[in-house]
Structure 1
């Protein structure tokens, strides 16, 4: 989910409001390799000028900010950079990509870092610090491993065991057990993205109609039907949630139960930490600890239950069934059944 950035209008009315200001501030930041200001410029550029504009998610902006910091480390310290930002060439970016690959970074991570640095270059062009983007013709490394082969989903047995863990591990803390079970189900059964899960409000829940309104990627909204089990979990959590002190009538469905943010909206990092705890207890390898593992699991099992990519795309909020096709490839049983059916067919013909 994408939310409005507090103070963005005020920010645009000052530092980046005019071409003269942008050029002056951009030149100063580029010369000093001022990471904070360069990230600020890039964020403003993406909010105003990128294809997604104001719908760019906070997670994307956070990831690209880290990529810019990584790139500035490569170009050298601010006081004596080995590569000045106004003198970069395509070859500099190619060397950076090679350096990251040699350091063992995965192709997708290298690709994300390149895109983050590329948005910095575009922002500097927008500020009239650069005449052109020197990274424009540079391509990220390809990944020889198919997506379905490296992104694993939980088995039916594993997801059942995972969903049972909150009650087992927090037998004396019904509030926490209820919230955590709901978090895991929202991802593992309904297939919500991480940002969609933490972005849910109480008002998005319609227990009478048995549906959940989800504000998804790109500002798109979809209504997801609630199966009986999820509906029951939601009902229990809404009752348990009343025991949490929420300042200012926080509308968030899932709230933090620890630290200074107690009663406030659960953050994406907080949701990941909760999921990681249960993954660890389940004995899953670290490469499967992401919240997206739950979404992949839901997608794979939805396809197995329906054999209909259009239904999967609709429920998960995919713009195209092509995106959903990976779940068909991830289901090993589907492929096994296909070759066994072919074998039976041939035996019958013979």
Structure 2
């Protein structure tokens, strides 16, 4: 085939732009759409070829290639979203892919820390912070920042990308509230407790000004809440390294920011929080996503029962 784009490829590019700018899908999701639909275009060059049989053949080849169920589910979702858009645009006489069945994905239960382990991960950085105060005078700004980030991650259950996206103006220390921008640019307000408020307050007072000052005010007084050593907004990789380092020091290897998110959700439910409250806190659009934490809690309850009950 020549280098010219086919009818379906051209339409797929338009759809990807629509998904990003109009539907508000994340860049990660849109990249997935582009990749999947580029492969689909190899099976259906034109919309005359865009039939249910062709779509099923495309997915069947993925099965023969040994693709994971999660990949099949993602490809099915991309085809269905594109088909709906193409039907509304008049490219298709009917929404062809609406009849595709999404393969069920066996979602692994999230890794959840025990409450004492989660607190130990945060406390480990707090202990280092205290030692730095005692031995070398004022704590290094990075130590104040790292403690504040760990406290906020576990206190709120926010995603690492949401943490790095926070600005100074998004945090109200007196009320213990943070305005978080989640997936699809949807905003929500999440609460946090006194330990997180104290850590963030100390970072803002004694840590952040040093890093921003070193960089000539790159982020300014109203810019990014968390900055790196050059005074610019911290990136997600740096946050992950901070969490991993603190976890290893606390004897809990393999912990990520997402582990703290899962743990916060599970511990809230175990403490009696309503499922809808946890859904709002985490920024889940679907209750079904939040319900996975009820399975985690039930699994832990069963483990405790088996260990403690004489008739288990």
1:253 aligns with 2:225: yes
Match of 1:150 among 102, 105, 109: 109
- The count of residues paired between Structure 1 and Structure 2 equals 293
Kindly state the Cα deviation for residue 292 of structure 1 after the two structures are TM-superposed: 3.0
**Alpha-carbon displacement from aligned partner over 1:36-61 (angstroms, at most 9, x marks no partner):** x844542325643xxxx3xx242xx4
The answer on whether the counterparts of 1:255 and 1:264 sit within 8 Å (CA) in structure 2 is: yes
Aligned twin of 1:91? 53
The alignment status of 1:141 with 2:103, answered yes or no, reads yes
The alignment yields a C-alpha RMSD, in angstroms, of 4.0
Residues 44, 222 of structure 1: CA spacing in aligned structure 2 closer, same or farther, 3 A cutoff? closer
Gaps of 5+ in 1: 1-27, 77-81
Aligned residue number for residue 263 of structure 1: 231
Q: Any conservation in 1 of the 2:117–2:252 contact (CA below 8 Å)?
A: no
Decide whether the 8 Å contact of 2:148 with 2:200 is kept in 1: yes
Deviations 1:246-269 (A, max 9, x none): 436362212344xxxx43334456
Q: What SS is found at the alignment partner of 1:213?
A: strand
Alpha-carbon separation, structure 2, partners of 1:33 and 1:219: 28
C-alpha spacing 1:138/1:195, structure 2 compared with 1 (3 Å): same
Segments of structure 2 that go 5 or more residues without pairing to the other structure are: none
209 and 153 in structure 1: CA distance in 2 versus 1, 3 angstrom threshold: same
| TM alignment of 1:1-350, pairs within 5 A | 29-31=5-7, 33=9, 38-45=12-19, 47-48=21-22, 53=23, 56-58=24-26, 61-73=27-39, 75-76=41-42, 83-86=44-47, 87-143=49-105, 145=106, 147=107, 150-164=109-123, 174-216=140-182, 221-239=187-205, 240-243=207-210, 244=212, 245=215, 246-247=217-218, 249=220, 251-257=223-229, 262-268=230-236, 271-272=239-240, 275=243, 284=253, 289=256, 291-306=257-272, 308-318=274-284, 323-331=289-297, 332-336=299-303
Quote the Cα distance in structure 2 between the aligned partners of 1:313 and 1:160.
22
1:210-266 deviation digits (Å, cap 9, x = unpaired): 332334456654433331211122112213111223436362212344xxxx43334
Q: Give 1:134 deviation, angstroms.
A: 3.4
Cα pair 1:304 1:334 within 8 Å, conserved: no
**TM-score normalised by L of structure 1:** 0.66
Q: What is the CA distance between 1:108 and its match in structure 2?
A: 3.2
